[in-house]
Amino acid sequence: MAKYGGWAGKVLRVDLSTGRMSTDDTVEQYKDYLGGTGIGYKVIWDEVQAGTKPFDPENKIVFGVGPLAGTGAPCNGRTAITTLWPTCWPRPLVASGHMGGHFAAELKYAGYDAIIIEGKADHPVWLSVMDGRTEIKDARQLWGQGIRRSTIEINQQMGPEATVAAIGQAGENLVPMSVVMNSYSHSAGGVGGVMGSKNLKAIGVRGTGSVRIAGNKEEWEKAIKLHLSLLGANNQNVVPNSPQPWAEHYNAGSRWMASAGRRWGASDPNIDTGACEPHNLNRIAYRTNNAAFFLGDKAWQYTVRGNGCTACPIRCHTMLKVPAVAAKYGIPEVGQNTCVGLLFGKAFFKTFPDGPRGQTAIEACMVGMHLADDLGIWENYGQLQRDFQALYYNGIFGRKVAEKEFKSYSWDKYEEGDPTFLFELLPKIANKQGELATALGLGTGYLLERWGIPEQEWLENHELLYWKFGHPKHHSNEDAGQCGVIINTQYNRDAQCHSHSNFTRNGLPLEVQKRLAVELWGAPDAVDGVADFTPMNVYKAKMAKWSLLRKELHDCLSLCNWMGPWVASPLRERDYRGEDSIESLLYSLATGDRKSRQELDQVAERIFLLHRALTIRDMGTKEMRTKHDTIPHWVFADPKDRAAFSKGTIRMDRDDIKLAMDMYYEEMAWDKQTGSPTRETYRRLGLETVADELAKRGLLT
């Protein structure tokens, strides 16, 4: 028997140029990097030269999962896909996309912790991974087809249980703003074109094996039940959306939507979501309804049920059945997705005839999901749609696009909020038809460059929520003041970190949050009330570091950072405490490699540090503070010109943010001047060879 549980034990390597396939031993080669993005960064560091472009055959794609994927640990469904990022502007750098669904688990059951894709096939292919048997198959008959049809055809070959991660026409056409998608609605953005550049249409995975739990099975069962008991609704919102008999607290902003009278109206017969008392673990799946959260009460009547990833009881992908769309738009009645994926179609429009929460908005969502999730277009966390609105309403399309092309779009329909407009726009983006659609498909940074628009304009516009490098902010100062700002400076795409926002949005009274903050980060001052921020302090820096490390840890273990960490809970008898050690508990039991919370956080820090080193290497500068960790101007402005720290504003203060970065670098033991990690830090975290390599290039402080 293998020494460790949790890991499947092997990493699959496929060179599409030569057709060569091989395997690496996961534990031997990658245990110090856990899995997921850890394996991804390691492979890119070791094997992909600085200066490689995303669509070069020399770029690699790493589909990585972790030791908890495929187990019963709640929320373990996410696959991390690491590669050089095609929308990262002006210079592509390493980044990762994350898809839920059933791919991660199926990959483990097939015997693999990761798949590394190398090279480029000379004709379209797809990869069939059936337990230990991998084959490169001809995909010429699939090329040109959408994700749905491709998936079904592959399932017809591999059997109904296989999970297929496929790209659509967007990925085939090397549109940078494209996704890979599995299990109908679970996508990872940015990766589609990279797969397309390798002529890789899809990966089908089917596994009949198992993931061994190394620890005692009774203890594992207890740990799972503990974890389940701490869950809230989606985003770890731990209080219900409206007063419930059992609840001390409630919050109209909570995704815990269940309540007596709110029904899954399109289930046959329909189902009342009810009170969902938190100790009743057989009701967790009714708590969340993201369609109702995002689209308003009308969505209840169309709700079939919740859907989501393997082993996750939250079900954030709400399945909707809207009969009217079949006749009106000729699309299926049933659709599903979550958050920005759900809002894909709606978000293009400024207004709808019946308002933002009416029927038309829902129909726009249905049309958007139907098109985008088949063509495989990425929305870059809503930046595509925000850009679109700004470019249209500021007259930029009119100026940059030839008149004939511009006039070929039904702008009257667009302005009216008519969802049929999406049938004109989205296929053109996927097929690179015309200047307007082609530019949109590049991503913000390259679009601005192509059209000669200074990035500055985007950096100053608060409404665009643009941050840097072609990507938007993702839970920044609006959610967590300086802590959010720090987090948003650290990645090469939007930060995708929810550790902090899942805490600040949990719905508990500020007083309770502060009490929990004392235990977690050392002082109540780590957290502020929304739009009532206080000057920087070291506890906020500690919270930022913790948030980043947990995000990276989740991406390596295969836990969902859209749910975790679980440091607050809905349980009054615990004073709403969660469990800061749940990750290490699950990791230790699953693998048999006992690690304390601190030890596991240190592994996460190593992985995060490797991401930093990769960024430094590929940027060719150690001046990270000024060249990488940048902050858009809108963070320091306020529409009503209120001063920073006054009530009602999320405006930050420049000097205070300087201090914030100082404190953060200090917490990370990085050089304050440059924002680059020191040799000592690399050494402490077991990355001395990485430091050597950087030193050779003159990139070590």
Least gap, CB of 213 to other proteins (angstroms): 5
The SS3 of residue 319 is: strand
Candidate list 252, 395, 403, 696; residue touching other proteins; CB under 8 A: 252
Nearest to 429 by CA among 390, 372, 469: 372
Give the Å distances, CA to CA, from 201 to 10, 81, 191, 559: 23, 15, 12, 27
Least gap, CB of 501 to other proteins (angstroms): 9
Please tell me the distance from the alpha carbon of residue 229 to that of residue 227, in angstroms, as a whole number.
5
Q: Does 479 bind other proteins (CB under 8 A)?
A: yes
Site for other proteins in 553-582 (CB under 8 A): none
Site for other proteins in 339-358 (CB under 8 A): 339-340, 343, 355-356
Site for other proteins in 647-666 (CB under 8 A): 647-650
Candidate list 63, 184, 521, 682; residue touching other proteins; CB under 8 A: 184
Q: Does 253 bind other proteins (CB under 8 A)?
A: yes
Cα angle, residue 207 at apex, residues 201 and 208 outer, rounded to 5°: 160
Candidate list 17, 141, 156, 689; residue touching other proteins; CB under 8 A: 156
Least gap, CB of 150 to other proteins (angstroms): 12
Q: Does 281 bind other proteins (CB under 8 A)?
A: yes
Least gap, CB of 604 to other proteins (angstroms): 23
Both tokens of 497, joined, read 């970190």
Closer CB to other proteins, 20 or 225, in the complex: 225
Site for other proteins in 493-532 (CB under 8 A): 505, 507, 509-511, 529-532
Alpha-helical runs (H) found in 376-432: 383-393, 396-400, 403-407, 411-416, 421-431
Least gap, CB of 642 to other proteins (angstroms): 7
Least gap, CB of 375 to other proteins (angstroms): 17
User: What are residue 273's phi and psi, to 5 degrees?
Assistant: -75, -30
What is the DSSP code string of 46-75? HHS-TT--TTSTT--EEEE--TTTTSSSTT
Candidate list 229, 259, 380, 490; residue touching other proteins; CB under 8 A: 259
Candidate list 283, 514, 595, 672; residue touching other proteins; CB under 8 A: 283
Least gap, CB of 638 to other proteins (angstroms): 10
Closer CB to other proteins, 336 or 489, in the complex: 336
By CB under 8 A, the count of residues binding other proteins is 95
Least gap, CB of 78 to other proteins (angstroms): 14
Candidate list 25, 46, 138, 248; residue touching other proteins; CB under 8 A: 248
Least gap, CB of 532 to other proteins (angstroms): 6
Site for other proteins in 424-443 (CB under 8 A): none
Please tell me the distance from the alpha carbon of residue 560 to that of residue 308, in angstroms, as a whole number.
12
> Which residues contact residue 607 at a Cβ distance below 8 angstroms, ignoring those fewer than 6 apart?
33, 34, 37, 38, 41, 552, 553, 556
Site for other proteins in 63-122 (CB under 8 A): 70-72, 102, 105, 108-109
Candidate list 128, 199, 251, 360; residue touching other proteins; CB under 8 A: 251
Please state, as a whole number, how many other Cβ atoms lie within 10 Å of the Cβ of residue 327: 9
Least gap, CB of 522 to other proteins (angstroms): 23
Site for other proteins in 610-649 (CB under 8 A): 640, 642, 646-649
Closer CB to other proteins, 58 or 478, in the complex: 478
Least gap, CB of 568 to other proteins (angstroms): 14
Cβ-contact 363, 339 below 8 angstroms: no
Among the listed ranges 148-156, 369-377, 417-425, 545-553, the one in contact with other proteins (CB under 8 A) is 148-156
Candidate list 191, 465, 549, 586; residue touching other proteins; CB under 8 A: 465
Closer CB to other proteins, 357 or 597, in the complex: 357
Residues 294-323, one symbol each (x = binds other proteins by CB under 8 A, - = not), give x---------xxxxx-xxxx-x---x-x--
Burial class of residue 638, CB neighbours in 10 A (0-12, 13-18, 19+): middle
Please tell me the distance from the alpha carbon of residue 25 to that of residue 21, in angstroms, as a whole number.
14
Least gap, CB of 307 to other proteins (angstroms): 6
Both tokens of 556, joined, read 């390596």
Q: Does 217 bind other proteins (CB under 8 A)?
A: yes
User: What are residue 256's phi and psi, to 5 degrees?
Assistant: -80, 80
Q: Does 324 bind other proteins (CB under 8 A)?
A: no
Please state, as a whole number, how many other Cβ atoms lie within 10 Å of the Cβ of residue 263: 17
Q: Is 301 left (phi over 0), alpha (psi -120 to 50) or beta?
A: alpha
Candidate list 29, 155, 410, 602; residue touching other proteins; CB under 8 A: 155
Chain Cα centroid distance, residue 668: 24
Among the listed ranges 41-49, 425-433, 471-479, 618-626, the one in contact with other proteins (CB under 8 A) is 471-479
> Which residues contact residue 558 at a Cβ distance below 8 angstroms, ignoring those fewer than 6 apart?
35, 36, 65, 66, 67, 68, 69, 76, 77, 78, 79, 80, 104
Beta pairing partners, 669: none
Residue type, 331: I
Both tokens of 498, joined, read 């929810």
Q: Does 123 bind other proteins (CB under 8 A)?
A: no
Residue with tokens 């296929």: 427
Least gap, CB of 557 to other proteins (angstroms): 14
